[in-house]
Chains A and B, each alone.
Chain A
Amino acid sequence: MALIKDNALRPDAWVLVADDAELPESDPAIVSFARWRRDRARLARRNGPLGLRLGSDQPPEGVADDLAAFDLIALEFPKFTDGRAYSYARILRERYGFAGELRAVGNVLRDQLFFMRRCGFDAFEVGDDIDIGAWLEAFAEIEVIYQPAAGDTHALQALRTSLSPGPTRMRVTA
């Protein structure tokens, strides 16, 4: 898999660790929700960045009290038509103020990137064979937006008359 972050393809330092595998000593590691529930105490003491992967039927309310433990949360799109993670992303950013990396994984397609980013995702796991230029264009296709979403704190009317999310606008406020 390749990773889009900060408007470019980036190397991915994180590894997804299977539930029965050993975690790396201190390298960035992503665990499942089941693993987190099982090994919470040990994982929280671990030295090194920790990530959590949530399925589309695992709402973030389930880890609301644990968010400080994670540097990254990966939200799964099992099918691109399953839109639950859009809400999860906004809840993580806006309700809980999660400021770490929010990564879209699974069936991530070019034409969903615009919506994902507006909901607070800032990293996107994509196929290795994508045309990165064409995919990055997807962020900039629509510049006029009508509603506040993750990171937009402007009042509604100001938003509609003056706000334009350019391709570099990736700010996410906690």
Chain B
Amino acid sequence: MYAYDQRDHAMLAQRTAQFRGQVARRLAGQLTEAEFRPLRLLNGLYLQLHAYMLRVAIPYGTLSALQMRGLAAVARSYDRGYGHFTTRQNIQFNWPKLDDVPRILDDLAGVEMHAIQTSGNTIRNVTADAYAGVAADEIEDPRIYAEIIRQWSTLHPEFTFLPRKFKIAVTGAPRDRAAVRVHDIGLQIRTNEAGDVGFAVIVGGGLGRTPVVGPLIREFLPKRDLLSYLEAILRVYNQLGRRDNKFKARIKILVQSTGIARFTEMVEEEWRRIAGGSLDLDPHEIARIAANFAPPPYDRLEPVDPGFEFKLAADPRFAQWCGTSLARHRQPGYAIVNVSLKPVDGVPGDVTAVQMEGLADLAERFSFSEIRATHWQNLVLPHVRLGDVHAVWLALATLGLATPNVGLASDVIACPGLDYCNLANARSISVAQAISRRFADLKRLNDIGDLRINISGCINACGHHHVGNIGLLGVDKKGEEYYQLTLGGSDDEDAALGDLVGPAFPYDAIVDAVETIVITYMDRREPGEGFLATYRRVGLAPFKERLYGAHQG
């Protein structure tokens, strides 16, 4: 875990004091809402349908047990006893009062957390692989670089009024668990022919109205040039990104309209001017940050734990949960434990204060006090001894957090939708709940296998519907909620955007339509073939036929 030093603490204290002053000026009428808006957005404070919403950053998805307790305290003292984990490793509180917000920020600063740049046209919270530091296939821990980028981008004087928001994701493994190809900048740690470790640089991916799988603009960037290269990209974007139309203001539009080759040339030209200067990353500085992410003091264990194997064989419910929840840890005898935040009929990503505290307890007892937030709106206990997994499962079950559906059809990603958001056309949460009920039968759920369903309540695509294996997009048809369906999307290393199936379905028919797609897949799949592979083999036609055939006769 990154531990704040004196300067980090001082900065947060100053920043909170500054925002307290801004809130006071707003409440005294010295700032108009138009003037206050960008200031509150720089501190993660949105004005939503019913109330303010505060978005707190969980940088690169890493949380300590103490921080989780801090979040629980905020939920209990200033909100309605819960928080909502998002797809970008943030947590949102939906009901804070404006004059409480400076106090909330003070409390968060006490546990080394903040809401800086979680909104606004700035460099947002930097995200990373939720399995960073523990994944068996990792080259290097992406959090080291995500933390370096977090510091560099915090209150960056040049890039605080960009044309539009700017999202950076870093992954350290060939398996992409950070969706780097659908970010404004995606960084993939890789090794070049000489054996040096650096980054592949992807620029101009993104979802929203104009979904784009980002192009690679640099095969290999040495580590020491990381910040100068990012600064060059941002400088080109800050000057040339469109400011006349917010729907065309993201960097992906600039990259597309300029052309990838010309855009890359401009970045490289600016980078050559500033490379090796004051942004040069000294190996000692990298080592200083890296020391924060050193592995915890693991026990030396056998790779197989007989007690764990026995319980696995003896208790099918435990085995079922293990089948979806565990991932391979790089340390022998340990497991990565995923915690589903998608109980049947629940709100995807919502966690109560009691659950947060329970998770903090579990992290302290069984996972070196560490918790991770994933971009699938779930949580992770990253270092659990195989011998402790059963105890963790029992405790999670008591907390209502042992749903065995991670990665399956009912592990739905959904934006807040019309229930909270003033941009939405349609509800997302209640559709997610209906899907989870429809696929509640565990035998069937497991028979269907890995399936990603994503729901966005509007074209801004916060539920990442374009990259869902099955994507649902809420649209408004003469005041009625309708949903468009896309198939075949993916946000991992073989990133793809889903294809539109056909006319949208009304609210009452959408869950049936999703089930029809699932049934069609199950009818068409070869033994062992996953949804994406089947779709890529058979194409849209069989799904179309089953969905619309009866009506189109």
Contact surface of A with B, Cβ cutoff 8 Å = 59, 80-84, 86-88, 90-91, 94-95, 109, 111-112, 114-116, 118-119, 141-149, 152-157, 159-161
- A83-B160, A86-B157, A87-B235 known; A147-B22 Cβ under 8 A: no
Contacts of B154 in A (CB 8 A): 146-147
Task: Tell me whether B288 and A83 are in contact (CB under 8 A).
Answer: no
Q: How far is the CA of A109 from the CA of B161 in the complex (A)?
A: 13
State which of B11, B22, B157, B238 has its C-beta within 8 Å of the C-beta of A114.
B157
Give residues 417-432 of B contacting A (CB, 8 Å): none
Task: Tell me whether A115 and B157 are in contact (CB under 8 A).
Answer: yes
Task: Tell me whether A82 and B155 are in contact (CB under 8 A).
Answer: no
**CB-defined A-B contacts under 8 Å, sample of 27:** A80-B161, A81-B121, A82-B161, A83-B238, A84-B238, A86-B238, A87-B239, A90-B158, A109-B35, A112-B161, A114-B157, A115-B155, A115-B157, A115-B158, A115-B160, A115-B161, A142-B18, A143-B10, A143-B14, A146-B151, A146-B154, A147-B153, A154-B278, A156-B227, A156-B279, A157-B288, A160-B151
- A80-B38, A152-B278 known; A141-B152 Cβ under 8 A: no
Give residues 131-169 of B contacting A (CB, 8 Å): 151-163
Task: Tell me whether B15 and A142 are in contact (CB under 8 A).
Answer: yes
**Residue from the set B38, B157, B278 with the largest chain A CB neighbour count within 10 Å:** B157
Contacts of A80 in B (CB 8 A): 35, 38, 161
Contacts of A119 in B (CB 8 A): 157-158
* 5 other A-B residue contacts (CB within 8 Å) besides A115-B160, A156-B279: A86-B157, A141-B21, A146-B11, A146-B152, A154-B278
Q: Which B-chain residue is minimally distant from A147 (CB atoms)? A: B152
Contacts of B153 in A (CB 8 A): 147
- A114-B157, A157-B285 known; A148-B38 Cβ under 8 A: no
Nearest CB of chain B from residue A73's CB, rounded to whole Å: 16
Closest 4 CB pairs of A and B: A83-B161, A118-B157, A144-B11, A148-B278
Q: Tell me how many residues of B have a C-beta within 8 Å of chain A.
A: 42
Contacts of B35 in A (CB 8 A): 80, 109
Q: Which B-chain residue is minimally distant from A107 (CB atoms)? A: B35
Q: How far is the CA of A59 from the CA of B158 in the complex (A)?
A: 15
> What does the 1/0 interface line of B205-216 toward A look like (CB < 8 Å)?
000000000000
Is B200 engaged at the interface, CB distance under 8 Å to the other chain? no
- A81-B38, A83-B159, A87-B235 known; A95-B285 Cβ under 8 A: no
Is B243 engaged at the interface, CB distance under 8 Å to the other chain? yes
Q: How far is the CA of A140 from the CA of B387 in the complex (A)?
A: 54
Task: Tell me whether A95 and B273 are in contact (CB under 8 A).
Answer: yes
Contact surface of B with A, Cβ cutoff 8 Å = 7-8, 10-11, 14-15, 17-18, 21-22, 35, 38-39, 121, 151-163, 227, 235, 238-239, 243, 273-274, 278-282, 284-285, 288
Task: Tell me whether A149 and B157 are in contact (CB under 8 A).
Answer: yes
- A152-B278, A157-B285, A157-B288 known; A59-B7 Cβ under 8 A: no
- A142-B18, A148-B278 known; A86-B273 Cβ under 8 A: no
Contacts of B17 in A (CB 8 A): 141
State which of B14, B162, B238, B280 has its C-beta within 8 Å of the C-beta of A144.
B14
Q: Which A-chain residue is minimally distant from B11 (CB atoms)? A: A144
Q: Which B-chain residue is minimally distant from A116 (CB atoms)? A: B157
- A59-B239, A80-B38 known; A87-B14 Cβ under 8 A: no
Task: Tell me whether A144 and B239 are in contact (CB under 8 A).
Answer: no
Q: How far is the CA of A161 from the CA of B8 in the complex (A)?
A: 10
Q: Which B-chain residue is minimally distant from A145 (CB atoms)? A: B155
Nearest CB of chain A from residue B70's CB, rounded to whole Å: 21
State which of A95, A112, A144 has its C-beta within 8 Å of the C-beta of B7.
A144
Contacts of B156 in A (CB 8 A): 146-147
Q: How far is the CA of A60 from the CA of B7 in the complex (A)?
A: 35
Task: Tell me whether A153 and B278 are in contact (CB under 8 A).
Answer: yes
Contacts of A156 in B (CB 8 A): 227, 278-282, 285
Q: How far is the CA of A37 from the CA of B38 in the complex (A)?
A: 36
**Residue from the set B17, B160, B235, B282 with the largest chain A CB neighbour count within 10 Å:** B160
State which of A82, A83, A91, A148 has its C-beta within 8 Å of the C-beta of B279.
A148
Contacts of B158 in A (CB 8 A): 83, 86-87, 90, 115, 119, 149
Task: Tell me whether B239 and A159 are in contact (CB under 8 A).
Answer: no
Q: Which A-chain residue is minimally distant from B154 (CB atoms)? A: A146
Nearest CB of chain B from residue A61's CB, rounded to whole Å: 9
- A87-B238, A115-B160 known; A155-B22 Cβ under 8 A: no
Q: Which A-chain residue is minimally distant from B38 (CB atoms)? A: A81
Nearest CB of chain A from residue B163's CB, rounded to whole Å: 8
Q: Which B-chain residue is minimally distant from A137 (CB atoms)? A: B21
- A86-B157, A154-B278, A156-B279 known; A111-B273 Cβ under 8 A: no
Contacts of A84 in B (CB 8 A): 238-239, 243
Task: Tell me whether B273 and A81 are in contact (CB under 8 A).
Answer: no
Task: Tell me whether A157 and B279 are in contact (CB under 8 A).
Answer: no
Contacts of B15 in A (CB 8 A): 142
